[in-house]
């Protein structure tokens, strides 16, 4: 299997996303980890970014709201290598009108080997990892090399 090596610097590029029923949870998590988050570059979907920025004063590059394309914008930034880390508190009990976008975002995060936290416990483990403060070499499977092309 072939891999692409992606260099991840000390300053991580972190995307923050939360469904409506989980925004309070993400805000509480971000508040608890505020000093650590200040050391990194933050991105978020529209409403989530506005709430965290307003409440904590964190500098966040916000995209559109998730249902209006924000999930896809973050997915595109992952593909381009502009996001290293995804914290996505999604609501497993509430159907989402943009569920295909949610699944596409999670799929691209897995394909690009992006550390992804979908709940507070995982986010706690990830942000407290010694890997958060240092450089890291992320390996991404070169799926293109696995595709058989017609001769």
Residues with active-site annotation: 71
Q: How far apart are CA 127 and CA 101, in angstroms?
A: 25
**Can you tell me which residue has the tokens 């403060």?**
133
What phi and psi, each to the nearest 5 degrees, are found at residue 61? -85, 110
Give the number of other CB atoms < 10 A from CB of residue 90: 19
Q: Is 133 helix (H, G, I), strand (E, B) or coil?
A: helix
Element (H, E) at 43: strand 41-44
Strand partners, 24: none
**How far does CA 112 lie from the centroid of its chain?**
11
């Amino acid at each position: 299997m072939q891999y692409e090596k992606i260099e991840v610097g000390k300053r991580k590029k972190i995307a923050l996303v939360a469904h409506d029923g989980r925004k309070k949870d993400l805000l509480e998590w971000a508040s608890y980890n505020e000093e650590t988050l200040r050391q990194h570059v933050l991105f978020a979907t529209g409403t989530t970014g506005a709430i965290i920025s307003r409440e904590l004063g964190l500098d966040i590059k916000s995209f559109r709201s998730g249902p209006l394309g924000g999930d896809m914008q973050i997915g595109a930034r992952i593909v381009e290598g502009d996001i290293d880390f995804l914290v996505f508190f999604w609501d497993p009990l509430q159907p989402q009108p943009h569920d295909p976008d949610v699944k596409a975002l999670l799929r691209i995060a897995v394909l690009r080997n992006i550390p992804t936290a979908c709940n507070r416990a995982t986010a706690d483990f990830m942000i407290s990892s010694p890997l958060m403060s240092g450089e890291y070499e992320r390996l991404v499977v070169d799926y293109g090399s696995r595709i058989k092309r017609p001769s």
